[in-house]
Amino acid sequence: MDARSVHTGSTIDTDLAIVGGGPAGISLALALASAPIRVLLLESGGSHFEPATQSLYAGEETGVSYIPLENTRLRYLGGCSNHWGGWCRPLDPVDFEPRATLAHSGWPFGRAEIEPYFARAQSLVEAGPFIYDETGKWANALGAPIHLAPGGVYTTFFQFSKQRGSILPTHFGERYGEDLRRIGNLQALLHANVTGLRLSTDAARLDHLDVATLAGNRFKVKPKFVVLAAGGIETPRLLLASNDVMTAGVGNAQDLVGRFFADHPIPGQTATLVLFDGHVAPYYQLPQAANGAYFRAAFAPRDDFRRAHGVPGALATVEGEVQLDGVGLAALAETAGALGMDASSMRAFTLGCGMELAPDPDRRVTLTSRKDALGMPRLKLDMRVSDDDFAQYRNTLKELGRQLLAARTGMIRLLHTSRAEWLAGMDWGNHHMGTTRMSIDPRRGVVDANSKVHGVGNLYVAGSSVFPTYGASNPTLNLIALVLRLADHLKRQFR
Amino acid sequence: MSVAEKTSIARRPLLAGLLGLAGLAVAALATFEAPRLLSPRHAPSPFDDLLVKLPDRDSAARLGAAFLAENRTFDADRSATALRRRLATRPLDAAIQSDLAEKRIVEAHGWVLPETLVSLCALAAKAA
């Protein structure tokens, strides 16, 4: 159904409103398909990209250069899965733990809490059987992993969302649009922009949603429960802009909404990896198929290494082959010679990287005085990356270098020494996290351990904006597991 | 006498002359270059007892120079003393493995390397 056909001034009653039709919103709607709950899915866009809708995302940025806000996400059915690369990997147990070495770290629960949901999440992203680091069994048939001496870094594995004709991972709108239409209790409204979260006068509950279309229709949705699944940038925008009852914005009594924004920096060409024998198994450089899964290897710090040294998550991938310069050839000759290794067949590769940022309350989104076409305040992102984030990542790569040398396998060169060098080659994962962080303590989090907004009885948030600590893994699989857990919680609310 | 035999006889004095010239050239080269060729390849340095352990002194000097450019406070004498102690009872390979086990690693032009090896390379650069 299209919201442009809803009469202005009308009110739609429903049990549950889901705001946002990306991977989180669609997964939640699918998970509630068999529950006796009337669900209304409100999606701002249509089935395909529309420039006028997309421009509602435009905003301002300060600080470290980041992707323009209108380009780092997609505003139509399927949301960010429409430009998803399909990379999947569960968060590590240490990602959930509070760590003395990492301020503001820790989830209200451990990985075991979402572990039961990974298999179904894996099914939704169509990444084959949930095997990940068990992949090694099949990978060995394609070539031995790069030998590392014992230490803090190991070879781990990504899996990939289903590749269709080597083009697409699972685009949730295309893939599940027909499934959504078949759900009897579900109504999906396209072109429906939520412009306000209207609280009861005592601010204890959400009373209704204001909805508008770019065609000019304005109507209300009156739900029993609401789940905001609009992404890590738009969800805080909605909360902050809905400031008629709570002047700081809904759920923002502690001034936490919009803070702790995070993404995964992907600095280009972070290191050069030299392998003395020149041999690298194919699964390090490109996804390989085995046992119904596409997988690719990466180097990651072990959990115990991260705990001991306060190191954030990182995932380094082997990329293209490169030539060594004069000093590099000298380093190779001297090192291989000293280790008694024959380097006549050596090959060198660049290492790519996805890394975790430390939580930072000053890396945040705030409202500006500029308005979009629907009258909603636009956002400003203050993007920051600390020197310590880079320093810690270098420590992980140094450990990898040490293990390569100790195993007489190869060596590593770190390419960036200064903050400016790191930032010059910076790219980002488009993984928006942290802006409605989860904590059982209302002074430290926007939502509780069930993803319910503190202080508001019927308002929930779904998606990676609730991640209080981020890990280096791509968030989609993990946020879907968390959404499936939320679905079980919501079902209990309707019993 | 055939034409071919006549040509062969005419070439003999020419070949003899050429061989003579080549002999003179070799003698001249030997006279002027022998001292250089026979002398040690690198000038004597206070670190030769250590530098002899390096696999390739020219490569070491190049890498060492890159390290020194980023570490201007490197103290060659102090480093040499430490290296002599470290290498007194074990070969270079064992000292390197000890560095790696005990995480004594340093960066030289970004290369992550064992401290002992980089210190030797820095001395090679100082000696060059």
DSSP string of B5-24, one letter each residue: HHHHHHHHHHHHHHHHHHHH
Nearby residues of A126 by Cβ (< 8 Å), 6 or more positions away:
A161, A162, A169, A170, A175
Q: Which residues of chain B have a CB within 8 Å of the CB of A413?
A: 109-112
Interface of chain A toward chain B, CB-CB under 8 angstroms:
149, 272, 326-331, 333-335, 337-340, 397-398, 401-402, 405-406, 411-415, 417
Q: Tell me which chain B residue has its CA closest to the CA of residue A415.
A: B110
Residue of A322, A300, A320 lying closest to A311 (CA atoms): A300
Q: How many residues are present in chain B? A: 128
pLDDT band (50, 70, 90) for residue B6? low
Residue A271 φ then ψ, to 5°:
-155, 165
**Can you tell me whether residue A9 is helix, strand or coil?**
coil
| pTM attached to this predicted model | 0.90
Residue of A8, A121, A24, A11 lying closest to A431 (CA atoms): A24
Q: Which residue from B93, B97, B111 is facing A413, i.e. has the nearest CB?
A: B111
Determine the distance from the C-alpha atom of residue A184 to the mean position of all C-alpha atoms in its chain, rounded to a whole number. 31
Does B118 lie in the same domain as B64?
yes
Does B120 lie in the same domain as B64?
yes
Does B83 lie in the same domain as B31?
no
Opening angle at CA A119, ends A116 and A122, nearest 5: 135
Does B15 lie in the same domain as B63?
no
**Inter-chain CB proximity A335 and B117 less than 8 Å:** yes
Range of the domain at B76: 48-127
Q: Tell me which chain B residue has its CA closest to the CA of residue A151.
A: B101
Does B101 lie in the same domain as B60?
yes
Q: Which residues of chain A have a CB within 8 Å of the CB of B117?
A: 334-335, 338
Residue A133 φ then ψ, to 5°:
-70, -10
Nearby residues of A63 by Cβ (< 8 Å), 6 or more positions away:
A363, A381, A382, A383, A384
Mutate to test the interface with A, among B51, B57, B87, B113 (most CBs of A within 10 A): B113
Q: Which residues of chain A have a CB within 8 Å of the CB of B97?
A: 406
- B53 membership: H or E segment, kind and range: none
pLDDT of residue B43: 82
- CATH 3.50.50.60 maps onto chain A at 1-98+170-262+362-381+431-495
**Inter-chain CB proximity B55 and A338 less than 8 Å:** yes
**Inter-chain CB proximity A330 and B60 less than 8 Å:** yes
The CATH T-level fold of domain A1-98+170-262+362-381+431-495 is FAD/NAD(P)-binding domain (3.50.50)
CA distances from A488 to A114, A483, B127 (A): 12, 9, 72
Does B54 lie in the same domain as B28?
no
**Inter-chain CB proximity A334 and B63 less than 8 Å:** yes
pLDDT of residue A278: 97
pLDDT of residue B38: 54
Does B21 lie in the same domain as B52?
no
Distance separating alpha carbons of residues B95 and B115, to the nearest angstrom: 9
Distance separating alpha carbons of residues A3 and A402, to the nearest angstrom: 59
State pLDDT tens for residues B51-78.
999 999 999 999 999 999 999 999 999 9
pLDDT of residue B13: 73
Q: What DSSP letter does each residue of A283-337 carry, written as one string? A: GGTS-EEETTEEEEEEEEE-HHHHHHHTPPPEEEEEEEEE---HHHHHHHHHHHH
pLDDT at B41 over 80: no
Mutate to test the interface with B, among A335, A396, A399 (most CBs of B within 10 A): A335
Distance from CA of B83 to the nearest CA of A (A): 15
pLDDT of residue A200: 97
Determine the distance from the C-alpha atom of residue A305 to the mean position of all C-alpha atoms in its chain, rounded to a whole number. 23
Task: Tell me the residues of chain B between 28 and 67 that have a Cβ less than 8 Å away from chain A.
Answer: 54-56, 58-60, 62-63, 66
Nearby residues of A244 by Cβ (< 8 Å), 6 or more positions away:
A196, A198, A199
pLDDT of residue A146: 97
Looking up tokens 């954030």, which residue turns up? A312
**Inter-chain CB proximity B96 and A149 less than 8 Å:** no
Does B58 lie in the same domain as B20?
no
Helix axes B115-127, A326-338, angle to 10 degrees: 120
**Inter-chain CB proximity B54 and A334 less than 8 Å:** yes
Contact B59, B96 (CB under 8 A): no
Mutate to test the interface with A, among B63, B87, B112 (most CBs of A within 10 A): B112
**Inter-chain CB proximity B105 and A401 less than 8 Å:** yes
Does B2 lie in the same domain as B27?
yes
A439: tokens are 């904590």
Does B117 lie in the same domain as B60?
yes
Does B31 lie in the same domain as B52?
no
pLDDT of residue A490: 98
Total of domains in chain B: 2
Average pLDDT, chain B: 85
Distance from CA of A272 to the nearest CA of B (A): 9
**Inter-chain CB proximity B112 and A334 less than 8 Å:** no
- Virtual torsion, Cα A252, A254, A258, A259, nearest 10 deg: 180
pLDDT band (50, 70, 90) for residue B39? low
Distance from CA of B46 to the nearest CA of A (A): 21
In chain A (495 residues long), the average pLDDT of successive 10-residue segments reads: 96 98 98 96 97 97 95 95 94 97 95 97 95 82 93 96 74 94 96 98 96 97 98 98 96 98 92 97 92 92 95 95 97 96 97 94 98 98 91 93 98 91 89 98 98 97 98 97 98 92
Distance separating alpha carbons of residues A187 and A180, to the nearest angstrom: 8
pLDDT of residue A412: 98
Residue of A21, A53, A66 lying closest to A40 (CA atoms): A21
**Inter-chain CB proximity A331 and B113 less than 8 Å:** yes
**Can you tell me whether residue A419 is helix, strand or coil?**
helix
Q: Which residues of chain B have a CB within 8 Å of the CB of A402?
A: 100, 103, 105, 112
Does B88 lie in the same domain as B35?
no
**Inter-chain CB proximity A339 and B96 less than 8 Å:** yes
Q: How many Cβ contacts (< 8 angstroms) between chains A and B?
A: 84
pLDDT of residue B10: 64
**Can you tell me whether residue A487 is helix, strand or coil?**
helix
Q: Tell me which chain B residue has its CA closest to the CA of residue A418.
A: B110
